[in-house]
Chains A and B, each alone.
Chain A
Amino acid sequence: MKVSIFNIFILFFKVGALLLGGGYVIVPLLVSEVVEKRQWISKDELLNYCAISQCLPGIIAVNTAVFTGYKLRGKYGALAAAVGMCATPFIAIVCLASILGQLTHMPMVKNIFWGVGIGIIIMIFLTVKELWAKSVVDKFTLLLFILIFAATAFFNFSPVLSIIFAAVLGILYKLMQKRMGK
Chain B
Amino acid sequence: MINYLLLMYEFIKVGLFSVGGGYATLPFLYHIAEVYNWYSAKELVDMLAVSSITPGPVGINVATFAGFKTGGLLGALIATASVMLPSYLLVIVIYKLLNRFNENFYVQAVLYAIKPAGCALIAAVAVRLFRDYILRNVDVFNIYDITAFVDIKALLLLVGLFIMSIKIKKDPLVYLGVAALFGIILHLNFS
B105 within 8 A of A: yes
Q: How far is the CB of A62 from chain B (nearest CB, A)?
A: 5
B55 touching A117, Cβ below 8 Å: no
> Considering only CB atoms, which chain B residue lies closest to A67 in the complex?
B91
A117-B83 Cα distance, complex, nearest whole Å:
23
A106-B61 Cα distance, complex, nearest whole Å:
22
Beyond A21-B173, A115-B179, A131-B122, is A144–B18 a contact (Cβ under 8 Å)?
no
Interface residues of A in 77-127 (CB under 8 A from B): 78-79, 82, 85-86, 88-90, 92-94, 96-98, 100, 104, 107-108, 111-127
A21-B186 Cα distance, complex, nearest whole Å:
24
A153-B86 Cα distance, complex, nearest whole Å:
26
Beyond A59-B60, A96-B54, A115-B184, is A127–B20 a contact (Cβ under 8 Å)?
yes
A148-B120 Cα distance, complex, nearest whole Å:
6
DSSP class of B's interface residues: helix, strand, loop or mixed? Answer: helix
B126 within 8 A of A: yes
B46 touching A100, Cβ below 8 Å: yes
DSSP class of A's interface residues: helix, strand, loop or mixed? Answer: helix
A46 within 8 A of B: no
Q: How far is the CB of B155 from chain A (nearest CB, A)?
A: 9
Interface size, chain A (Cβ < 8 Å): 95
Q: A100 — which chain B residues lie within 8 A by C-beta?
A: 46-47, 50
B147 within 8 A of A: no
Q: B94 — which chain A residues lie within 8 A by C-beta?
A: 52, 56
> Considering only CB atoms, which chain A residue lies closest to B177 in the complex?
A119
> Considering only CB atoms, which chain A residue lies closest to B28 in the complex?
A159
Q: B91 — which chain A residues lie within 8 A by C-beta?
A: 53, 56, 63, 66-67, 70, 78
Residues of A within 8 A of B (CB): 16-24, 52-63, 66-67, 70-71, 75, 78-79, 82, 85-86, 88-90, 92-94, 96-98, 100, 104, 107-108, 111-128, 131-132, 134-136, 140-142, 144-149, 152-153, 156, 158-160, 162-167, 169-171, 173-175, 178
Residues of B within 8 A of A (CB): 13, 15-23, 25-28, 31, 34, 45-61, 64-65, 68-69, 73, 76, 80, 83-84, 86-88, 90-92, 94-95, 98, 101, 105-106, 108-130, 133-134, 154, 157-158, 161-162, 165, 171-173, 175-176, 178-184, 186-187
